[in-house]
Amino acid sequence: MANIRQLASGHWQVQIRLKGRKVTETFLRYDHAREWATAAEGQIDKGSAPTGRRARGAKTFGTLIDLHIDDMKEVGKPPRRSKSATLAMLHRELGAFKLSELDRERLIKFGRDRAKNGAGPVTLGQDIGAIKLVLSHAAAVHGLEISIEPVLLARIALKRLGLIGKGRERDRRPTEEELQKLFVHFDSNPRQLIPMSRIIKFAIATAMRQEEICRVTWSDLNLRTKMLMIRDRKDPRAKMGNDQRIPLLAVSGYDANTLIEEQRSVRSNEDDRIFHYSSKSASTAFTRACAELKIDDLHFHDLRHEGTSRLFEAGFSIQQVALVTGHKDWKMLRRYTHLRPESLHSSPNVVAA
């Protein structure tokens, strides 16, 4: 039975001992304590876990998003940038809806609207997956009686409509002419403070992401072994603590070690990063330069594709390339590999006529 008592603070504490279970919650008002106690006893009597006070007060989808974020922070796994952006968007678009209003029709409309605003099949699939995650979390962790069937049905409908699906694999690689145009553009601009030409070459030499390039430090560099440690490298299964040591090679047309040595001349005393610049600023500079030079459909991330492809063209195996790129799924590594047919002329398997 429920025991309700007033604490010295004036709050009301509920203790329930029933069918071997013991739960405790605290409330500001007695009527709220009594209401929760009655509902909790009913849940225990039915054989389910009682819903906590915070979860019981969740009436909208936005409150469930907040609850999910708080829970993940509590266990030391706060949402990182990409997931945080998705949850923030869902909060704006769907947060005000009551849980009863988040039905199949509402979710399909959400998907159609997102697609009209430019969300691609992969992005929309991730959005629907995030909705399912928040609802499943509330049901599993907090015992809320929530059905995810509307989400599953909406996903099927959006997939049938062609709004959810696999993304088209990019095969864009910069040509030598395009790279030279970029180098001349950046090197001839005295107002360009970020050494973009050096960063572009380093991205190709190491197949590193722009965020990684602007995060590695001198402390993580081992000159003797020519190795560089990348901290918390992006990985879908281990977003924190996924540190990887990569070799600094000179097989892609650019020498990673030489580029780092060139960076010593502008080393910062206050900042231990080798490339002590904002990754967003570097990305913006790259995008703006491509627009001015009329280089169509080239992204900074395509340099990672280029670096990966050059490693294969240099004769490295899949296992060896993975030691540089950090891919644990070799199927995923294949997506980043777009070999040029001309490279076969320099392959060690080709016998001269």
Give the active site residues.
209, 239, 301, 304, 327, 336
Round the CA-based radius of gyration of the chain to a whole number and report it: 27
Residues 287 and 280 sit within 8 Å (Cβ to Cβ): no
112 neighbors 155 (Cβ within 8 angstroms):
no
Tell me the residue length of the chain: 353
Crossing angle of helices 196-206 and 279-292, in 10° steps, is 100
* Beta-carbon-side half-sphere exposure of residue 198 (alpha carbons within 13 Å): 20
Nearest partner of 200 among 94, 304, 60, judged by Cα: 304
Q: How many CB atoms lie within 10 A of CB 213?
A: 22
CB 62 within 8 A of CB 95: yes
Q: CA–CA separation, 258 vs 277, rounded Å?
A: 19
3-state secondary structure of 162: coil
H or E segment at 213? Answer: helix 210-213
Contacts with 24 (C-beta within 8 Å, 6 or more apart), sequence order: 13, 14, 15, 16
CA 64 to mean position of chain CA atoms: 21
How deeply is 192 buried, as exposed, middle or buried, from its count of CB atoms within 10 A (0-12, 13-18, 19+)?
Answer: middle
- 10 Å Cβ neighbour count for 151? 22
